[in-house]
Each structure stands twice: as structure tokens, then as C-alpha cells.
């Protein structure tokens, strides 16, 4: 697959990753709903060590859907949401699909935290559903 590249709306924060994502999925937890203002958080999950970030994101820490802390990064200039660093998976980091230069490369393989999925959002019936955390292999 092509290099994962993207950034915020104003371009102050950019990122690049040359390895395959560990997984791609849609998180429907309440924390992601609040943070994104949307029905769910479409995320590419990549190894933290493999992601090169330029510019500076500001981080806000809160309780994630798992009950563990999650740090969420955003651009202080334009407010775009960037990275999600859950304590639950300390080696991995979530990138929002909409921040990619080519968002069409996002291919989610599952929906998780579907217990808090919103009735006004139609999930793809073909994707596996997990009411809580996604399984870890
Ligand atoms: Zn920005
Ligand atoms: Zn979530």
C-alpha cells in the first residue's frame, strides 16, 4: 500500500507513515463521538514508532470507551483532529481517516464499541461488530 500521509486543515501539522496499518476500524464509543462531533471515529491504527509527525499537535487527555485514558491530539491553529493515543494500546496510535491526503485508502475491517453506536447512523452490515473493545491478535 502507498505511504500513509496526511495532516490538519491548515497544514501546520503533517504526518507520514511507511508501514501497513495494524488495523483500520470505526470506533463508536461516546468519547470518540464527543471528540469528533460525529457518529463515530474512522481510524487507521499504526505503530507509534512508525509515524513521523512534523509540526506540533496539542493533546487533551480523557477517559476512553475502554475506561482507560486516551490522549487526543489536534492542531491548535485550525482545530483539526489528528491523533488518538489510547493507554489501552500503548504501542499503537489512531489516525482519523478524514485527515489523510487520500482518504479513499481507508478500508475499515470492523466496527467496535457498537454498544454506543447511534440509531441515526447506519453501520455497514458486512463488517464484524464488537460491542466493546476490538479484539487484539
Ligand atoms: Zn492546522
Ligand atoms: Zn472510541
Give residue 99 CA to ligand 1 midpoint distance, Å: 11
pLDDT of residue 90: 92
Give residue 131 CA to ligand 2 midpoint distance, Å: 12
Give residue 124 CA to ligand 2 midpoint distance, Å: 17
Which ligand has the nearest atom to the CA of 26? 2
Choose among 13, 37, 28: nearest CA to 132. 28
**pTM for the whole thing?**
0.92
- Mean of pLDDT values over 118-131: 97
Domains of the chain: 18-130 (3.90.1590.10)
For residue 1, name the pLDDT band (cuts at 50, 70, 90): low
**How do residues 28-71 score in pLDDT, each as one tens digit?**
999 999 999 999 999 999 999 999 999 999 999 988 667 789 99
CB within 8 Å of 64: residues ≥ 6 apart: 29, 31, 70, 86, 87, 88
**How do residues 60-88 score in pLDDT, each as one tens digit?**
998 866 778 999 999 999 999 999 998 98
Give residue 52 CA to ligand 2 midpoint distance, Å: 23
Amino acid at each position: 500500500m502507498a505511504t500513509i500521509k496526511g495532516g490538519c486543515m491548515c497544514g501546520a501539522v503533517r504526518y507520514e507513515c511507511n508501514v501497513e496499518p495494524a488495523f483500520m476500524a470505526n470506533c463508536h464509543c461516546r468519547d470518540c463521538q464527543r471528540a469528533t462531533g460525529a457518529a463515530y471515529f474512522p481510524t487507521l491504527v499504526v505503530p507509534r514508532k512508525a509515524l513521523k509527525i512534523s509540526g506540533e499537535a496539542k493533546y487533551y487527555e480523557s477517559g476512553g470507551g475502554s475506561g482507560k485514558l486516551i490522549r487526543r491530539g489536534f492542531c491548535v491553529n485550525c482545530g483539526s483532529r489528528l491523533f488518538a493515543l489510547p493507554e489501552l494500546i500503548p504501542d499503537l496510535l489512531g489516525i482519523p481517516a478524514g485527515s489523510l491526503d487520500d482518504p479513499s485508502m481507508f478500508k475499515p475491517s470492523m466496527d467496535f464499541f457498537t454498544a454506543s453506536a447511534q440509531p441515526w447512523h447506519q453501520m455497514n452490515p458486512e463488517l464484524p461488530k464488537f460491542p466493546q473493545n476490538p479484539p487484539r491478535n
